[in-house]
Amino acid sequence: MEEAKLDSKSKSIPNENLRFGERALSAGGAAFISAVIVNPLDVVKTRLQAQAAGVPYEGSCRLGCFDSNSTLVHDLRSSSSPGMCRITGSASVCSDHQYKGTLDVFYKIIRQEGFSRLWRGTNASLALAVPTVGIYMPCYDYFRNRMEGFTTEKSPTLTPYVPLVAGIIARSLACISCYPVELAKTRMQAFKGTQRDVKLPGVWKTLVDVINPVKGSSNGQNYRMLWTGLGAQLARDVPFSAICWSILEHTRRSIFSFMGEEPRAGSIIGANFTAGFVAGGVAAAVTCPLDVAKTRRQIEKNRDRAMTMTTRQTLAEIWRDGGMRGMFSGAGARVGRAGPSVAIVVSFYEVVKYGLHNFHQQ
């Protein structure tokens, strides 16, 4: 009986004869498509979270202080230094033009900045998503297959936990490898341009500004700023991957079992898309407070705060400033982005693997 179950699992997810490079190519293509499609929701989510952190958008909340030499904000929470303001969390200081929700952000970005600004940071998203997913998905496959083979033989009771552990390891490797680009993407999406026709800084210029915020002030220590918020990123991505893969593997195997037929391209796409959509949405909702903390860490401009602030302190600050609403800022956009994103990536990746598998068989 156990052998039959294992046989059905291996048939549902063909892996034989596929090299790491082929898996990475499949994952990279999936990431490219997903990044382009869901980028507008990523921009909306980041804007809502940045507004909750006190980023002063023009015609929005009158919180924080502008730096005349920068589009960013210095210290959004400190009142001890000249020229810096503290978040009040009070609605009385906000105008009627602040972002009120996901659809309102869409409307105001299109009206005030132009339709193309919904794809702000897409180049960073692609530069991030293709290598990240190219590392993430093949590594997940590798660790899952290895650990499933070991636990099935040595300790079958641990096999259900394999997707959780494999997802954590693979996501951690991918996250650490490509983190500076993630930092650039968040900053590019969080801050709006003041004029429609002015070209905004790209990935490279954004990273240079992170390292060298004041011209001529660069030193070796400033390069540590490229890893600002890495702890918050891992604190979000590790549980996200654990939850996502635990739900996804169980769901898609249940769907394949229900279909009761040899998997074909259509059934592979359908099962993986459905499982990915559900798993991505649930994982995104559960980890939303950690995503808010990650965004707040990444948009922090004050070097001393950025280097000393911890994820735990950031979460406590978010709770103090905005309560439960603050903890789930941009939750709708995040869930709306994560569900389709995971569904697209996983279904595309698996169907390309299926095609390559058949090619090798022939």
Residues of the chain with pLDDT below 50 are 1-14, 59-96
Q: So what's the pLDDT on residue 229?
A: 81
Q: So what's the pLDDT on residue 5?
A: 41
Nearest to 182 by CA among 257, 292, 294, 68: 294
Going from the C-alpha of 358 to that of each of 24, 156, 220, 264, 265, the distances in angstroms are 18, 30, 51, 11, 11
- Under a CB-based contact definition with an 8 Å cutoff, are residues 30 and 345 in contact? yes
Q: So what's the pLDDT on residue 213?
A: 62
- Under a CB-based contact definition with an 8 Å cutoff, are residues 255 and 294 in contact? no
- Under a CB-based contact definition with an 8 Å cutoff, are residues 328 and 289 in contact? yes
- Under a CB-based contact definition with an 8 Å cutoff, are residues 336 and 102 in contact? yes
> What is the pTM for the complete model shown?
0.75
- Rounded distance between C-alpha atoms, residue 189 and residue 71, angstroms: 12
Q: So what's the pLDDT on residue 106?
A: 92
pLDDT digits (tens, 9 = 90+) for 222-254: 677 777 788 888 999 999 999 999 999 999 999
- Under a CB-based contact definition with an 8 Å cutoff, are residues 121 and 38 in contact? no
Q: So what's the pLDDT on residue 24?
A: 81
